[in-house]
Amino acid sequence: MPRREYWFGLPALPTSARSARDTVRDRLRDWELPGETCCDAVLLASELTTNAVLHTGSGHVLCGLTLTGDERRLRIELHDECSTPVRQPEHHAGPGEESGRGLLLVRQLADSWGCARSTWAEGKVVWAELTAHP
């Protein structure tokens, strides 16, 4: 089976995280991925989108989902218009803080993740990969 890909663009607005969650959930259900994989992927897409919207100054983001041909790996990509690399936060959010946990969640949920120069946008891509089937 060939690999599957799905791409969608969103304006860099606070409401785009919800749109990313809904789009990823719908696509992965169509691809009949297990519920746990879908839940983790939806959260990863939401966190990557939120991070781009809040911290890059981008006007638009491009999201990509790629499922390998053997359906074992799912890659989630978020391309933005900012070339500044993403780094782990220098401090951990305290119990009373409302933000600052996104990349910690990405690191905990993803099998691997990283940041590179985007070949699709003027900035960078932040990606995360999951095992699609246990």
Q: What is the pLDDT of residue 28?
A: 96
CA 133 remoteness from chain centre = 18
**Mind listing the pLDDT tens digit for each residue in 21-70?**
999 999 999 999 999 999 999 999 999 999 899 888 899 999 999 998 88
Question: Judging by beta carbons within 10 Å of its beta carbon (0-12, 13-18, 19+), is residue 45 exposed, middle or buried?
Answer: buried
Coil, helix or strand for 29? helix
Q: What is the pLDDT of residue 113?
A: 92
**Mind listing the pLDDT tens digit for each residue in 88-129?**
555 555 555 455 555 777 888 899 999 899 888 889 999 999
Q: What is the pLDDT of residue 80?
A: 94
Which CATH superfamily includes the segment(s) 4-88+100-131?
Histidine kinase-like ATPase, C-terminal domain (3.30.565.10)
What is the SS3 assignment for 62-89? EEEEEECCCCCEEEEEEECCCCCCCCCC
The structural domains of the chain, with segments of one domain joined by +, span 4-88+100-131
**pTM of the predicted model as reported, rounded to 2 decimal places:** 0.86
